[in-house]
Amino acid sequence: MSIPNGYHNRIGRVDLDERKVSYEELDENDVLKYIGGRGLGARFVADKSPKIDPLSPDNVLCFMTGPLNGSRMPMSNRLCISGKSPLTGTIFDSHQGGWTGPRLKWAGLDGLIIEGRSESPVYLYVEDGKIEIKSASSLWGKTVSETSRALKEKYGGKGVSVIAIGPAGENLVKFACIVSDNYRVAGRGGAGCIAGYKRLKAMVIKSSSGNAPEPADGELFERAVKAVMDRIRESRITSPGKGSLSVYGTSANVTFINAIGAFPVRNARETHDENAEKISGKVLRDTILADTSTCYACPVRCKRVYRVTGKYATEGESLEYETIWSIGANCGLFDLKPIARINSLCNEYGMDTIEMGNCMSVAMEASEKGLIGEKIEWGDADKMIELVMNTAMRKGMGDVLAEGCAESAEVFGDPEIANQVKGMGMPAYDPRGMKGMGLAYATSNRGACHLRAWSGASELMGYPEKTDPLEESGKGKLIAFLQDFYALIDSLDVCKMGSYAPLDVGMYLSGYNAMTGLELGEEEFLKIGERIYNLERHYNNVAGFDGSDDVLPGRFLKKPSDGRVCNLEIMKEEYYRIRGWKDGVVPEDKLRELGIDRLI
C-alpha cells in the first residue's frame, strides 16, 4: 500500500561528519506501526544501538512531525525531538509548541535525522523540502534570542521559525534544551546538550501554510475539527477566554495542587505551603501579566506574556506551572518577579527549568545539612540567579549542577536528597498526594515525568474515570492506559492540553482516520500506543535498565507527609501484570505480539 495522507513521504538525513544531506521515503510499515512524531522518532533512534554513548557521533537527533501537524485540527502544533539522553542514558523525546512543527511540515518534510558531529558550528536552513548546512561560527556563544534575531534578520521574519541552543548546550550542560522562537522549549532529556555536542547551533525553517497536508476525507475531517472545537469551548478548563487555562495559564494548577497536599515544597520535604498563593495564576494575572499568547491552531491562549520592572526587570513568555514550582516553591522562593527573571535566563541560555530547579533545591538542602561549604539558603533569589548563570557556563558550583540533580547529590555525598528517577529530576506533583503520579514517575521511559502519564486526568478530572488520588489500587491499569494514550497524542503530534477538555481516544482517532484515509478502531489505535511504549522500554532494557530502575526516592516511600507515603510496590505489581513485563523487562512473547523487532 502507499503512504497515507498527512505525510510528504520525505525525511531529510543530515550527516554532519561529511557535511552531506540526503533524502529518503518513509517505510509504509513504520508509518502504520508508529504514526509519526514520538513513535517514528523512537523507531529511528532504535536504529542505533541502545548501548552507544549519548555524547558520541553515533547518537542521532531526530526532529519529527506527525500527520496532523499544520492542519486545521486544533492544537496540531507540536514538534518532537528524540535521541538517547545524556542526562539519563535512556531513550527520550521532548516536544515544543509554537509554529516550528507546522512550519517543518509546510516546508515539505516529515522529519530530519541528524547524524555525526561537525568540526565547526553549523546551522541548518530548511525550505521547499530541501536542507542546507551553513556555518554558525559567528553565532557560537550567543544566547537563544541573539541567535534567533540574527537569523530572522538574515532570512526575513515572515514565515520563519528559528530553533536554537544557547551557551548551556554549547557547554554540554546535561539538561540543556532546544528553544524555538525564543520561548517554546523542548526541555526534558538534554536535546540541547546533544545539539551542542554535534555543534548544531540552530535550524531555520521557512515555509507557508500553502503546503499543509490535505485530508483524505475533507468532509469527515471538518466534522472531526468541529467536534474537537466544540469540546474545547464547552470545557471549564480550556474554554477560550473563560476556562482556567485561558484565564490563568498552566499556573492555575498552583492553587488546587497545593490545596490537596501534592505541591512539593523545599525539595519535597513538605507537600503544601500557605505562601503558595503568592505564586498562583491569579497573582500572576494581577501583577506581572502583560499579554497572552498562543501556538498555531490553538484557541486556548494558555501562554503568559510577563513584564517585570525594578530589581528583577525582565520580560518574556511561557511562565508555566512547572517552572513556577521548580524555581519557586521547590526552592522556597515565593515571589513571582525573581521566578520570572530566572525563567527568562533559562530560556536565554537554553536550560530545562524543571531540572535547574531540582539542582538548586539539592544544593540548598546540601548546604543546610553542611555537606558543602558554600552557603545557599532557601529562597535566596540573588544566589539562585548566580547559580543559573554559572551552571550555563559551567563555572564553580555550576559545573557540578550542570550534570543534573542526581549526579549533583552524589557529588555532595547524599544521593537521597535528589528527587529523581533514572537520573531525571521530578516535576511538580508529589506522589504522596497523588499516588498515580508515583507510578507514572517510576515507570516513565525517559525518567521522572508528568507528561508520560498525568494521573490527574483521572484523579482530579475524572478521565477516563474518576479515581481517588490517595488510592493505590487500580493505578496500574490507569497508568498503562494513559502512557499508551499519551504516546498516541505525541505521535500525531498535537498538544496534550487538549486532554484537559477532555479530548478522548475516539476524538483523536476520528481526526487521524479522516486525515490518513485509514479506518482504524479504538482498540487497534491504542495498540499503536502500546507498541510505541514497549519499543521505548525495550530500548532501555537493552541499554541496561530493568525493574530495579522503576523506583522512587526514599522520602516519598518512607517519610510521611500529612501521614501519607506512596506505596509504590503495590501499584508496580499490578502495572507489570497488565503490561505483561517481567521485572520491568519486555519479554520476547510481548515483542512478538506487538511486532517489535528485537534490538541488540
Q: Calculate mean pLDDT across residues 515-530.
A: 98
Q: Which residues contact 130 (CB under 8 A, 6 or more apart)?
A: 21, 108
Q: Calculate mean pLDDT across residues 486-491.
A: 98
What is the model's pLDDT at position 349? 98
What is the model's pLDDT at position 1? 59
CA distance 566 to 430: 9
CA distance 426 to 419: 6
Chain segment 190-232, per-residue pLDDT in tens: 999 999 999 999 999 999 888 888 999 999 999 999 999 999 9
Contact between 415 and 541 (Cβ < 8 Å) = no
Q: Calculate mean pLDDT across residues 445-465.
A: 95
CA distance 172 to 486: 30
What is the model's pLDDT at position 122? 98
Is it the case that residue 157 has pLDDT exceeding 90? no
Q: Where are the beta strands (DSSP E) in 405-488?
A: 420-421, 424-425
The residue type at 350: G
* SS3 state at 24: strand
Task: Indicate the fold that domain 243-422 takes in CATH.
Answer: 1.10.569
Q: Which CATH number applies to 11-211: 3.60.9.10, 3.40.50.1950, 3.90.550.10, 3.30.430.20? A: 3.60.9.10
Q: Which residues contact 481 (CB under 8 A, 6 or more apart)?
A: 464, 526
Grid cell at residue 447: 525518567
**What are the φ/ψ torsions at residue 114 (nearest 5 degrees)?**
-100, 125
User: How many alpha carbons fall within 13 Å on the CB side of residue 376?
Assistant: 25
Chain segment 82-112, per-residue pLDDT in tens: 999 999 999 999 999 999 999 999 999 999 9
Burial code of 165-185, b = ≥16 C-beta within 10 A, e = fewer? bbbbbbbbbbbbbbbbbbbbb
Contact between 531 and 46 (Cβ < 8 Å) = no
Is it the case that residue 366 has pLDDT exceeding 80? yes
Chain segment 14-61, per-residue pLDDT in tens: 999 999 999 999 999 999 999 999 999 999 999 999 999 999 999 999
Q: What is the domain class of 435-594 according to CATH? A: mainly alpha
Chain segment 276-322, per-residue pLDDT in tens: 999 999 999 999 999 999 999 999 999 999 999 999 999 999 899 99
* Rounded alpha-carbon distances, angstroms, from residue 107 to 3, 70, 297: 18, 10, 17
* SS3 state at 75: coil
Show me where the domains of the chain are located.
11-211, 243-422, 435-594
Q: Estimate to the nearest angstrom the gap between the alpha carbon of 6 and the chain centroid.
A: 24
* SS3 state at 434: coil
Burial zone of 445 (CB within 10 Å; 0-12 exposed, 13-18 middle, 19+ buried)? buried
Q: Calculate mean pLDDT across residues 513-519.
A: 98
What is the model's pLDDT at position 99? 96
Four-point Cα dihedral 435, 573, 522, 498, nearest 10: 20
Chain segment 318-352, per-residue pLDDT in tens: 899 999 999 999 999 999 999 999 999 999 999 99
pTM for the complete prediction? 0.97
Is it the case that residue 434 has pLDDT exceeding 80? yes
Residue 111, strand partner residues: 11, 64
Is it the case that residue 468 has pLDDT exceeding 80? yes
The 122-127 sheet, strands edge to edge: 130-135, 122-127, 200-206, 160-164, 178-180, 184-186
What is the model's pLDDT at position 492? 97
Grid cell at residue 71: 492542519
User: Would you place residue 165 in the very low, low, confident or very high pLDDT band (cuts 50, 70, 90)?
Assistant: very high
User: Would you place residue 459 in the very low, low, confident or very high pLDDT band (cuts 50, 70, 90)?
Assistant: very high
What is the model's pLDDT at position 209? 83
Grid cell at residue 309: 520592572
**Chain-wide mean pLDDT for the chain?**
97
Contact between 185 and 96 (Cβ < 8 Å) = yes
What is the model's pLDDT at position 561? 84
* SS3 state at 458: helix
Radius of gyration of the chain (CA): 22
Question: Fold match between 11-211 and 243-422?
Answer: no
- How many other C-beta atoms lie within 10 A of the C-beta of residue 415? 16
